[in-house]
Structure 1
Amino acid sequence: MAPLTEPKQERAVRTRQIVLRAAAEVFDEYGYGGASISKIMQRAGVTQGGMYFHFKSKLGLAEAVMASQQDFIELPPGEDGLQRLIDITAHITHELQHNVLFRASVRLAVEQEEFGRNDDTAYQEWAERFRVQLVAARRRGELLDDVDEGEFANVLVAAYTGTQIFSTMASKRADLPERTRTLWRYLLRAIATPQARETLRLPEAGTAA
């Protein structure tokens, strides 16, 4: 009996992935308020039954996309410390420009009050990832004495979130690499030792094509 059920399971997994990606594309394009189940079904090319087997509502789809944010992006490799922290934000910038799944999850996290949610989990997860890099930077002697790793991790999440929202409004994120570079140019003066600043590479400037 097992061989007969495996294809159904595989199809179910594939259908769920197709629906989730279609939902992300629609949420990214229209936002939560402008998205609809019919638009998502049309984009996914699935029947109503196929849709509701996996997700019972637009809200359920939005929550699934938002909750999967950490799964939609793979962090770049490298030795932990300030350089890797900079590289992570540069990678996030690239993903926001090119990865619709990640981009939609970020947009929904920003717009979540529209669907009655007030969940800072995604922000807290990024703050923790940043804090880990800052703790490593402390061990490497890259941070000024008065920098609190956890406090600055929260500041960086807030600063980068605001930067990408501003960039979205100003240029649909085309200028986000330049804005990210500028952000670090100022932030490093506040947290990094002069010796560390001499060796750190800022994100590449320029805009996306």
Structure 2
Amino acid sequence: MAKQDRAIRTRQAILEAAAAVFDERGYDAAKLSDILELAQVTKGALYFHFESKEDLANAVIDAQVSAAPEPLPQVSKLQEFVDIGMVFAHRLTHDGLLRGSVRLTLDQGGHELNRGGPYREWTELNLRVLQEAKERGELLPHADPEEVAPLVVGSYAGLNLMSQALGSGRADMERWASVLYRHVLPSIAVPAVLAMLDMEPGRGQRALGGA
């Protein structure tokens, strides 16, 4: 059991180091030697867990959704829909693994990488919650979950690119996420539900049970 725990810790250390290097340099410029130095592991340990740089990068990308914490359940499904995005924006400020994964999904290098996975998974997650909100009568009659879910996921991708281009280091993502929801939700939410939604900056931490 101790050996298995050590292997799990080593794999996680490699993932986190790789995410940091990919986030800073992008896929093409990232070197395995830099990842090894940051993770403080041997080349043998890295290749025990990952077959190649491509395999390692895809594992970092996959962690974007699989490692996401679950927001607290809410009475309103639309609040849960908002919380998915606000938690994501909150995590970008302190979760290096997420930042590295996002950089890889937006990076133009490494054409062999499977970048579509997170987009599909986030869209499917948002779609399920929006469909439940529709069934509960929280959405206006014209609101189509199959249109809203990819629109919001695509908007996050654009906001991330803009944040990087402007050099803010994604520090303003929570504010822009709040702005996005404050403009989108009035067009799809029943007014009584809309009035109860928390879309303000800091919602991500609150949704995870933080102060």
| TM-score grouping bracket, smaller chain normalisation | 0.7 to 0.9
Are residues 135 and 37 of structure 1, via their aligned partners in 2, closer, same or farther at CA, if it must alter by over 3 Å? Answer: same
C-alpha distance 193-11 of structure 1, shift in aligned 2 (>3 A): closer
Q: Are the counterparts in 1 of residues 163 and 170 from structure 2 also a CA contact under 8 Å?
A: yes
What is the alpha-carbon root mean square deviation over aligned residues?
A: 2.0
Is structure 2 residue 32 aligned with structure 1 residue 37? yes
Q: What is the CA-CA distance between 1:118 and the residue it aligns to? A: 5.0
Instruction: Work out which structure has the larger RCO, using CA pairs closer than 8 Å and 6 or more positions apart in sequence.
Output: 2
The CA deviation at 1:114 is 2.5
Equivalent position to 1:63, from 48, 58, 67: 58
| Alpha-carbon contact 1:167-1:179 (below 8 Å) kept | no
Which is richer in helix?
1
Q: Which amino acid aligns with 1:138?
A: K
**Alpha-carbon distance, 1:193 to partner:** 2.1
- 1:166 partner letter: M
3-state SS of 2:138 partner: coil
- In the TM superposition, what whole-angstrom CA distance separates every residue of 1:62-114 from its partner, at most 9, and x where no partner exists? 01111222222112112351111112211100111110111211211222653
* Unpaired runs of at least 5, structure 1: 1-5
Name the amino acid aligned to 2:135. Answer: R
Please list every run of at least 4 consecutive aligned residues from structure 1 whose deviation after the TM superposition is greater than 6 angstroms: none
Report the Cα distance in structure 1 between the residues aligned to 2:50 and 2:157, rounded to whole angstroms: 29
Q: Report how many aligned residue pairs link the two structures.
A: 201
Look up the match of 1:188.
185
Distance 1:35 1:145 in 2: 49
Query: Which structure 2 segments of 5+ residues have no match?
Result: 203-211
Per-residue CA distance 1:157-198 (angstroms, 9 max, x = gap): 111221222123221111111111111111012211222222
* Matched residue type, 2:107: E
Q: Please give the TM-score of this superposition, normalised by the length of structure 2.
A: 0.86
- Percent identity reads 41
- Residue 12 of structure 2 aligns with an amino acid whose one-letter code is Q
Letter in 2 for 1:21: E
Q: Select the structure of larger CA radius of gyration.
A: 1
Q: How far apart are residue 13 of structure 1 and its match? A: 2.7
**TM-score (ref. length: structure 1):** 0.87
